[in-house]
A and B are shown apart, each in its own frame.
Chain A
Amino acid sequence: MLRKFSNSRTLKDNIQLGSLSAFSAGMVNVTSLIIFFAFTSNVTGHYAILAEEISKGNWYQASVVFAWIFLFFIGNFVSNIIIINFNKNNSYLAHSAPLIIEIICLLAVGYYGHFYYRETLSETEIMVGTMLFAMGIQNGLTASISNFSVKTTHLTGLTTDVGILTAMFTKKKYRQNKQLRSKFNVLLAIAASYLAGGIVAGVIYYEAKFLVFFAVSAVIGFIILYEYYKLKVTKFIRIKRTSKLRKSILETT
């Protein structure tokens, strides 16, 4: 899910990565909407708000929204800088590191919110910025390693693609195209996971408040650990096979 890069990824890899990361993105977005009244996993609306605040002459609000958009951009930048520079040495580490940074950001928001949050506007602005940075990191990572076929927080593009594909599927030749059907499955998995994540987070929030961020971190942590486990298993199988092969060669000679 995390190790393979670009075109070497399978449909299963993309569905797994897309579903889990979209689930966490949905959780973050709904929680921030409930607590802070601001979206944190999509920036299309923030561009519209930025334009609105500038046109109204609300420079303070415009500055805050610009900083949020910039933090989302920086999140994408940071994750791709890590991938570009470390992918050749250790692809697992290069792809896990951005997720670890994301977990740190979300845990910081959860911890601060649970123990220190006094509901001031400046705290809200900083925490929303931190979450946008975290979501930028996640989106940058998933889009980059999946060759732009998985964008977990970009549901405008996703809905557009689903609409286009649905229209294409009215023709038999497109319905029989395996690649298009695979893409459709990935998109549906992402949309369903995003929605499910949002609903789960909403339910958890009313029971556990800021601790919901620990649950989101656990989901992202699962992605990293699952990959680590698979890496170990693959390595173990490879070693076993090699030793078996060596043994059989020795026996024949």
Chain B
Amino acid sequence: MNIKNSNLIVLVSSTLLVVGFIISIINTMVLVSPTKHIEGSWKEISWEYEKSENINADKKISDAIKTEICKELIIHEAEVWNFSSNGNLELTSDINNEMLSWTMKGRGNILELSHNTNKIEHYNIQVLNNDQMVLYFSTDIQAKGIVKMTFERIKEDKYAQKI
């Protein structure tokens, strides 16, 4: 490879890197950030084991085990999660309502929930789009494993009707 060619390669790759950086910065300003994406109401659809130490275990988590797992968590048993832009998270169920605080960490892949008792929990956001949200967290209850929580977005008009 002659000097002219290698100079050209250096020039092109440097330009591409800088252009890529500029596009990245513009993207972060223009595209919807995960914090905006999560705002709104989400309905719990299912709880199942994504990974479990027990190979033969049924992946579906029964209501009894779910109750047991929730005792250890600040999310308790809720059916609807309502994320507000001010950082509040309202958990609603038939029995009671609970207010938590939420924020995101990493590149928007970690959901941090905190209770006024200063208890903090972290959930891994695996999927977050207009219709669906999937959260992962580790549990030691019964069979140690990773729990997968699937949510469906409640469209604003439906949620207003329900309220």
Contacts and interface: CB of A to CB of B under 8 A. Distances in A.
Interface residues of A, number: 22
Contacts of A73: 17
B110 interface: yes
Given A66-B24, A70-B21, A73-B17, A49 B107 contact: yes
A119 B103 contact: yes
Contacts of A16: none
Interface string A108-129: 0000000000011110110000
Interface in B43-93: none
Given A36-B106, A67-B21, A121 B27 contact: no
Contact of B28 (A35, A38, A63, A124): A63
A184 B32 CA distance: 49
A70 B27 contact: no
Contact of A121 (B21, B31, B104): B104
A67 B28 CA distance: 10
A74 B157 CA distance: 48
Given A37-B122, A124-B105, A66 B21 contact: yes
A121 B24 contact: no
A130 to B, nearest CB: 14
Contacts of B150: none
Interface string A46-65: 00010001000001110111
B107 A38 contact: yes
B132 interface: no
A60 B35 CA distance: 11
A36 B35 contact: no
B107 A65 contact: yes
B17 A60 contact: no
B17 A121 contact: no
A221 to B, nearest CB: 29
Contact of B27 (A37, A38, A63, A124): A63
B32 A60 contact: yes
A125 B105 CA distance: 8
A37 B108 CA distance: 10
A59 B107 CA distance: 11
B24 A67 contact: yes
A124 B106 contact: yes
Given A37-B109, A38-B106, A70-B17, 12 more contacts: A37-B122, A38-B105, A61-B34, A63-B23, A64-B107, A67-B21, A73-B17, A120-B103, A121-B35, A121-B104, A121-B108, A122-B33
18 contacts: A38-B106, A49-B107, A60-B32, A60-B108, A63-B23, A63-B25, A63-B27, A64-B28, A65-B107, A67-B25, A70-B21, A70-B24, A119-B105, A119-B112, A120-B35, A121-B105, A124-B106, A125-B28
Interface of A: 35-38, 49, 53, 59-61, 63-67, 70, 73, 119-122, 124-125
